[in-house]
Structure 1
Amino acid sequence: MFPKPFKKLHSDILYKLESLEITEPTPFQAESIPVIKSGSNLYCSAPKESGKTTTLIITTLQRLKCEAVGTSPRAIVLVKDKEKAMEMYDAFLKYTKHNSLRVYVGHEKMHVDLQKSEIMMGIDILISTPKSLNNLFLLNGVNTSQLKIFSVDDAEFLVPQSAYAAMLSITRMIRKCQYVLYSENISPKLKRFESNFMEYSKSISI
């Protein structure tokens, strides 16, 4: 029997957690998962090895009910660079292997027109970098009308001005969704997002 907050997760997620021998939530997961499931915008800060990436994955799958729907992405995961994008893609595949969710990874090393055409074929989860995603948005390469959750992994990379500006540009083109930012520390610059897309946000720090 899974303890809270795991036991109310989708059965596909519980099956995968059990197969990975993850039966107890970390302190960070126990605090963050219920708040993310509630739909609130959230700043999450915790040290390495606290379970942040696993939390990002399972709450994304929970929000999408572990099944493919339509053609437009319903979840976006923003990462620092190509290397992080591929790591996140591989991490997601461990959890989506036995369901219908379609995970797509893009980065600035890929031609934007290729990404645009592949995304239009239908995806559920888009993993991308700030520059790549911003370019897609500027070319109307991503339909965000069905977007439910936008997560940022290790959000410290948004502090430099170029990435910070790209994030603001991206979020201005999204009508409405839930935002969850994960990092080891929430810097004052990240907190400034509260005056933009992180309005009414909550914070969890472990």
Structure 2
Amino acid sequence: MELKKINPNLQKALAEHNLVHANELQQETFSTIKSGADCIIAAPDGSGKTTTLVINTIQKLGKPEGESTRALLLVETKEDVLEMVELFAKYATYTGLRFIGVHEKGDIDFDKNQISLGMDIIIGTPEKVNQMFSSAGFNLNTVKFFAVDDADVLFKKRQDSIVLRLSASVAKTQYVFACSQVTERVEIIADKIMTEPLFFESEEDQA
């Protein structure tokens, strides 16, 4: 994938899955996200927002490090968790990055034990992630990348309080929201936790 200074191990995995050319969204956002800036990405469903989050998480972390979580990605449902885990399984193949997906149907004790062994990336539904961190006392200060996929949908369902609660436990991190449209609620939450966020908004018709 022709992205500037992309991790070669990431690029190798992308090529093996026929992702040779970055789409418009990936081209526009890659350098900015790589720089560490807070971002809000608004684009129609099917435009590659989830894949963009996965690619940038792998680029950001690069390789396994320590025992504490360095990337936290929140998604709406169990199905979304499984979809994102599958993407990491494909694209993080050559990096050695450790990741886990957690959701309401999973075994919380098993998940906590896996995370305590060392996990670079956690993908999960907000309620499950909140439950795990509040009960297990995991350290969130090591989180360097905090992403919310379908942020407009999650915030409409009043999951924004969990995002705010989790963010309050993070010392310093990069926030990225992906959404279909920038709603008032998305702007309110961004204003509370982000630092001068950059907006990427597609003008394409969502139909």
Provide TM-score, normalisation by structure 1: 0.91
**Alignment root-mean-square deviation, CA:** 1.6
Cα shift at 1:91: 1.2
Equivalent of 1:192 in 178, 184, 188: 188
1:157-182 Cα distance to aligned partner (Å, 9 max, x none)? 22235312111111111111001011
Partners of 1:9 and 1:98 in 2: how far apart?
Answer: 13
1:28-69 Cα distance to aligned partner (Å, 9 max, x none)? 11111111011011000111222212211111011101x111
Deviates more, 1:150-159 or 1:54-63: 150-159
Residue 29 in 1 paired to residue 26 in 2?
yes
Q: Note if contact 2:160-2:189 (Cα within 8 Å) is conserved in structure 1.
A: no
Report SS of the residue matched to 2:69. Answer: coil
Counterpart code for 1:70: G
Query: How high is the sequence identity, in percent, across the aligned residues?
Result: 33
Report SS of the residue matched to 1:110. Answer: coil
Structure 1 residues not aligned, in runs of 5+: none
Question: Counterpart of 1:83?
Answer: 79
Q: Note if contact 1:116-1:141 (Cα within 8 Å) is conserved in structure 2.
A: no
Partners of 1:110 and 1:18 in 2: how far apart?
Answer: 32
Report SS of the residue matched to 2:193. Answer: coil
Question: Counterpart of 1:182?
Answer: 178
Q: Note if contact 2:25-2:48 (Cα within 8 Å) is conserved in structure 1.
A: yes
Partners of 1:55 and 1:195 in 2: how far apart?
Answer: 23
Partners of 2:69 and 2:20 in 1: how far apart?
Answer: 30
Cα shift at 1:114: 3.0
Residue 153 in 1 paired to residue 149 in 2?
yes
Partners of 2:198 and 2:180 in 1: how far apart?
Answer: 16
Provide TM-score, normalisation by structure 2: 0.91
Question: Counterpart of 1:64?
Answer: 61
Report SS of the residue matched to 1:69. Answer: coil
Q: Note if contact 2:64-2:120 (Cα within 8 Å) is conserved in structure 1.
A: yes
Q: Note if contact 1:85-1:128 (Cα within 8 Å) is conserved in structure 2.
A: yes
Residue 47 in 1 paired to residue 47 in 2?
no
Partners of 1:160 and 1:48 in 2: how far apart?
Answer: 17
Equivalent of 1:10 in 7, 10, 14: 7
Report SS of the residue matched to 2:100. Answer: strand
Partners of 2:143 and 2:155 in 1: how far apart?
Answer: 24
- Distance change in 2, residues 1:24/1:161 (3 Å): closer
Cα shift at 1:188: 0.6
Partners of 1:80 and 1:130 in 2: how far apart?
Answer: 7
Cα shift at 1:151: 1.1
Counterpart code for 2:29: S
Counterpart code for 2:69: P
Deviates more, 1:139-148 or 1:41-50: 139-148
Equivalent of 1:128 in 124, 127, 149: 124
Deviates more, 1:31-40 or 1:108-117: 108-117
Cα shift at 1:15: 0.9
Deviates more, 1:159-168 or 1:72-81: 159-168
1:116-146 Cα distance to aligned partner (Å, 9 max, x none)? 2221111111001110111122224422232
Cα shift at 1:199: 2.8
Partners of 1:160 and 1:96 in 2: how far apart?
Answer: 31
1:97-116 Cα distance to aligned partner (Å, 9 max, x none)? 23311111111222433322
Residue 101 in 1 paired to residue 97 in 2?
yes
Structure 2 residues not aligned, in runs of 5+: 203-207
